[in-house]
Amino acid sequence: MSRIHNFGAGPAALPLPVLEKAREELLEFGGAGASIMELSHRSVEFSRVCSAAEQNIRRLMNISNDYAVLFMHGGASSQFALIPLNFRIGGRAADYIHTGHWSAKAIKEAGVSGPVNIAWNGGPEHYVRVPSQDEIELGHDAAYLHICSNETIEGLYYPVFPESDAPLVADMSSEIMSRAIDVNRFGIIYAGAQKNIGPSGLALVIIHKTLLDRCPETVQVFHRYRTHVTGSSLYNTPNTWGIYMVELVTDWLLELGGVASIEAINQRKASLLYDMLDSSDFWRTPVRKQCRSIMNVVWRIHDEELEPQFLKEARSADLAGLKGHRSVGGLRASIYNACPLESIELLVSFMRDFESRNG
Ligand code: PMP
């Protein structure tokens, strides 16, 4: 078996012990005589998996009973549409902070169903940092404030989350469970699973229960969060395999010591890479220092013409997935929870060598 060092932005690397366990259980789950994918979502076996996954998430993120934890279809993009439909009470405008590609997508979707107030739009430098509190222009009586807490493409994150009287809604797709956060600060947290917690197509939604009654009856039953809370994520057939994988990934994370432990590892991994980028003018990273994501490290080679060569040589050394998003170009290493320290050490040593040959 030969596995790459996977720096892909998502679907991304999963922990090897998780994949091994899934392989071991693929044909027969427990004593059930069938794969978990072949069992009813109402079976005893799957019910146990689903509730273990939820309990693991509650433990890892310290989530109180004031919040519902949901597994939903359609990835994070479906949440872009559902949030305004469910929570924009009385047609009120919703505040959105525009920090890059993914917050822009959320804004576009929200604009389809009602008014949006852009509370900040990238600043004069364009999407290289998040705003300070005094730069944010909150609307009067906004329904909620939406942020993308980690912009996967631009590689920036919020060292401190913004304040608003309205509920704070965060797309945490590319950083969920990578650092300790206080869930109580948020009305809703959501994340596509395919970066830090499992396979694609699945979204994790953590929602304060007081928000559930906001949804008007004009919204289709399937599109109401309330429906999925009442149905305990089983209103219709869920992505059973995806939820099973989330259970395995969260088991792995708990065994590792939880979010505080992985955060310390993540900080170390990110520092190795940023220290390398800061070490010479051969490299440059556009993101302001205090907003540098510890999950998605984005950079350029000063002489951009060297980038295709860098990518080619890196791939030959089994360092894969380092191409920046097609909308911005350049280079990016996504170093999610499951990306081992060893992969980053190898990348840094490859970069040092590349610089010495081309600098
Ligand atoms: N938000 C962020 C921050 C993302 O990185 C992504 C996917 N890269 C999405 C939303 C969209 O997720 P999905 O493809 O699961 O809809």
Ligand 1 centre from 22 Cα, in Å? 24
Ligand 1: atom nearest CA of 192 is: 15
C-alpha 89, offset from chain centre: 27
86-111 pLDDT tens trace: 999 888 999 999 999 999 999 999 99
Name the residue with the closest Cα to ligand 1, atom 5.
152
128 phi-psi bin (left φ>0, alpha ψ -120 to 50, beta other):
alpha
Which sequence positions are flagged as catalytic?
A: 102, 171, 195
77-to-6, 82, 239 alpha-carbon distances in Å: 24, 9, 16
Q: Which of 287, 284, 10, 242 is nearest to 125 (CA)?
A: 287
What is the average pLDDT value for the chain, to the nearest integer? 97
In angstroms, the first-to-last Cα distance of the chain is 35
Ligand 1: atom nearest CA of 172 is: 3
Averaged pLDDT for residues 50-66: 98
115-to-220, 235, 268, 300 alpha-carbon distances in Å: 20, 30, 42, 37
CA distance 79 to 187: 14
Name the residue with the closest Cα to ligand 1, atom 10.
76
HSE (CB half, 13 Å, CA atoms) of 251?
17
Q: Which residues line ligand 1 (CB under 6 A)?
A: 10, 75-77, 102, 148, 152, 171, 173-174, 192, 200
Averaged pLDDT for residues 50-68: 98
289-337 pLDDT tens trace: 999 999 999 999 999 999 999 999 999 999 999 999 999 999 999 999 9
Domains, in order of start, for the chain: 16-256 (3.40.640.10), 258-358 (3.90.1150.10)
pLDDT at 319: 98
pLDDT band at 359 (very low <50, low <70, confident <90, very high): confident
